[in-house]
Amino acid sequence: MTANISTSSSKSPLVLEARGLCCVRGERELFVGLNLRIASGDCLHVRGENGVGKTSLLRLLTGLSKPESGEVLWSGQSIAVDPITYHRQLLFLGHRDALKEDLTALENMQMYAALDDVSLSQEKALAALWRFGLRGRENLPVHYLSAGQKRRVLMARMLTRQAKLWILDEPFNALDAQAVHELQNLIIEHITAGGLTVLTSHQEINIPNMQVLEL
Amino acid sequence: MRALLAIIHRDLLLVMRRKSEVLTAVFFFVVVTSLFPLGIGADAALLRKIAPGVIWVSALLSTLLGLHRMFAADYHDGALEQLALSPQPMVLLVTGKMIAHWIVCGLPLVLLAPIIGIQFDLDSNSLYVLMATLLLGTPVLSLLGSIGAALTLGVRGGGVLMSLIILPLYIPVLIFGAGAVYANSVGLDTSGHFSLLGALLILALAFIPWVSSAAVKIAIE
């Protein structure tokens, strides 16, 4: 069923590492000398109060913003050296859903698949949408979906993206109890298949062997 | 290459879903250029004289109308971040967005120009020259405009600021575009104008995608 299981045949262990990260927003130093290291099969939960720099840390890890000092390494190589190879393995979901409101859920999935350079047949996209309870809504413009249903479209994208590293900012927002459970299962599936996950959340999450980083 | 086509396809699909926004720019061009003959009256000699300038200025302004759409919507819903994180060079994606903008906001002007030109009593030879200058010039307008659109991302009142940044940059295109049509109408050689327009297009193609993608990266940081 899942695409990421079939592609987990890489030999070298995947490691995401941050060395001495320092992040400054305006006048404030959010964190200094932050180190972290997660490998295949790990899930890291970044916790902290509002405004403590969780989102900033995730954006540093994706390479969207550059650290004041320090570096982020993917499998031993700085992500600034070869961002395209890194981005091929990376899926980042931020606060905003990044879905185009005028396109249907299916078109959004196909559009991102084309841009992310992953092959996605219509059947596979539909199966992913159906798995997350969007049967019958795949051809509605995303505009008509509720906030929770939009997050479900993103879950379908996570399933089909074939990325090794998931960086998820508040992925449990707007989800109902059933969907929270499904998303946890999806993440567990991903890490047992050798993937890595970094996420932030204010909720209690039940994922085995989860590491916690308090900012 | 697949990514370039994918982004063009995406942007055109989005435009098709929301036609009113595009039609505004084209309609603006048609209405403004039609107002001049109506306001000035049936002085054919005068109309012929002002036609190149009026049509070119209208083309500049209507291109400007569609520019804010190039990156702003994607910036606000987070899609621009996703594009930056896709395994594609940003330059390619930005170029795709410019091409889509030109197809939507530039190409219709080229195709409409002969009809507009008839209102100004231009002869068929002038109409061909007008179309040719627009064909060379409007891609430069889309390219230059993308710099302004990218630089004003996330800025409050960005639309006005963008006009102030972009319009001065449009001046050379305006001079050589309108100049060629005028020169042709008085029987002068137009090859110099076309060479300069072509040179502007080549220069813009060679440098602007990099400039704009750098500006976009700064905006999403």
| Phi/psi-derived region of residue A144, left when phi > 0, alpha when psi is between -120 and 50, beta in every other case | alpha
Total number of domains in chain A: 2
Q: Is residue B81 less than 8 Å (CB to CB) from chain A?
A: yes
Q: Are residues A118 and A144 in the same domain?
A: yes
Q: Are residues A26 and A82 in the same domain?
A: yes
Q: Are residues A34 and A73 in the same domain?
A: yes
HSE-up (13 A, CA, CB side) for residue B190 = 23
- The whole-angstrom separation of Cα A108 and Cα B10 is 9
Measured between beta carbons, the chain B residues lying within 8 angstroms of A102 are 14, 17-18
Long-range contacts of residues B112-115, Cβ cutoff 8 Å, at least 24 apart: B112/B26, B112/B29, B112/B30, B113/B55
**If you average pLDDT over residues A158-182, what whole number do you get?**
91
Measured between beta carbons, the chain B residues lying within 8 angstroms of A111 are 6, 10, 13
Within a domain: A26: yes
CATH code of the domain containing A19: 3.40.50.300
3-state helix, strand, coil in chain B (%, to 5): 85, 0, 15
- The whole-angstrom separation of Cα A125 and Cα A114 is 12
- Which residue is it, tokens 């971040």? B81
- The whole-angstrom separation of Cα A135 and Cα B193 is 59
Q: Are A139 and A170 in contact, with CB atoms under 8 Å apart?
A: no
Q: Are residues A104 and A82 in the same domain?
A: no
HSE-up (13 A, CA, CB side) for residue A39 = 3
Cα–Cα distance list, B8 to A88, A101, B4, B144, B206 (Å): 21, 17, 6, 18, 19
Q: Is the dihedral of CA A160, A166, A170, A175 positive or negative?
A: positive
Within a domain: A5: no
User: Does the structure show a pLDDT above 70 at A1?
Assistant: no
- The whole-angstrom separation of Cα A48 and Cα B145 is 42
- The whole-angstrom separation of Cα B160 and Cα B148 is 10
Q: Are A67 and A21 in contact, with CB atoms under 8 Å apart?
A: yes
User: Does the structure show a pLDDT above 90 at A144?
Assistant: yes
pLDDT tens digits for range A9-37: 445 678 999 998 898 888 888 888 889 99
Q: What percent of chain B has pLDDT over 70?
A: 100
Within a domain: A8: no
Question: Of B152, B118, B127, B124, which Cα lies nearest the Cα of B47?
Answer: B118
What does the mean pLDDT of chain B come to? 92
The answer to whether the Cβ–Cβ distance between B7 and A115 falls below 8 Å is yes
Query: Residue A31: what pLDDT?
Result: 86
Query: Residue A12: what pLDDT?
Result: 64
**If you average pLDDT over residues B159-177, what whole number do you get?**
92
Q: Which of A124, A141, A162 lies at the terminal end of a domain, its last residue?
A: A162
Q: Are residues A19 and A78 in the same domain?
A: yes
User: Does the structure show a pLDDT above 80 at B76?
Assistant: yes
B-proximal residues of A, 10-69, CB under 8 Å: 62-66
Q: Are residues A83 and A96 in the same domain?
A: no
Q: Are residues A40 and A70 in the same domain?
A: yes
Within a domain: A68: yes
Q: Are residues A67 and A158 in the same domain?
A: no
Q: Are residues A129 and A190 in the same domain?
A: no
Q: What percent of chain A has pLDDT over 90?
A: 48
Q: Are residues A71 and A26 in the same domain?
A: yes
Question: In terms of DSSP bridges, do strands A15-25 and A28-39 run parallel, antiparallel, or are they unpaired?
Answer: antiparallel
**If you average pLDDT over residues B177-204, what whole number do you get?**
93
- Considering only the beta carbons, identify the residue of B13, B18, B78 that sits closest to A96: B78
Cα–Cα distance list, A167 to A145, B11, B48, B153, B197 (Å): 24, 27, 61, 25, 47
User: Does the structure show a pLDDT above 50 at B49?
Assistant: yes
Query: Residue B2: what pLDDT?
Result: 84
Q: Are A120 and A110 in contact, with CB atoms under 8 Å apart?
A: yes
Within a domain: A126: yes
Domain boundaries, position A66: 13-89+171-215
**If you average pLDDT over residues B188-207, what whole number do you get?**
94
- Considering only the beta carbons, identify the residue of A63, A94, A107 that sits closest to B78: A94
User: Does the structure show a pLDDT above 60 at A6?
Assistant: no
User: Does the structure show a pLDDT above 80 at A81?
Assistant: yes
The answer to whether the Cβ–Cβ distance between A97 and B89 falls below 8 Å is no
Q: Is the dihedral of CA B203, B205, B209, B212 positive or negative?
A: positive
Query: Residue A8: what pLDDT?
Result: 42
Q: What is the ipTM of this complex?
A: 0.87
Within a domain: A201: yes
Q: Which value, in Å, is the radius of gyration of the alpha carbons in chain A? A: 17
Within a domain: A3: no
For residue B89, the chain A residue with the least C-alpha distance is: A84
Q: Is residue B83 less than 8 Å (CB to CB) from chain A?
A: yes
User: Does the structure show a pLDDT above 60 at A5?
Assistant: no
- The whole-angstrom separation of Cα B71 and Cα B95 is 12
pLDDT tens digits for range A38-56: 999 899 999 988 888 899 9
Tokens of B29: 């061009």
B-proximal residues of A, 102-121, CB under 8 Å: 102-103, 107, 111-112, 114-117
Question: Of B201, B138, B178, which Cα lies nearest the Cα of B54?
Answer: B178
- Considering only the beta carbons, identify the residue of B6, B81, B89 that sits closest to A98: B81
CA–centroid distance for A14 within its chain: 16
Q: What percent of chain B has pLDDT over 90?
A: 75
Query: Residue A11: what pLDDT?
Result: 52
Q: What angle do CA A147, A149, A152 make, to 5 degrees?
A: 115
Question: Of A199, A70, A63, which Cα lies nearest the Cα of A210?
Answer: A199
CA–centroid distance for B58 within its chain: 10
3-state helix, strand, coil in chain A (%, to 5): 35, 25, 40
Q: Are residues A82 and A27 in the same domain?
A: yes
User: Does the structure show a pLDDT above 80 at B82?
Assistant: yes
pLDDT tens digits for range B12-31: 999 999 888 778 989 999 99
Within a domain: A85: yes
3-state secondary structure of B104: helix
Q: Are residues A139 and A79 in the same domain?
A: no
**pLDDT confidence tier of residue A3, bands split at 50, 70 and 90:** very low
Tokens of B64: 């400007």
Other beta carbons within 10 angstroms of residue A51's beta carbon come to 11
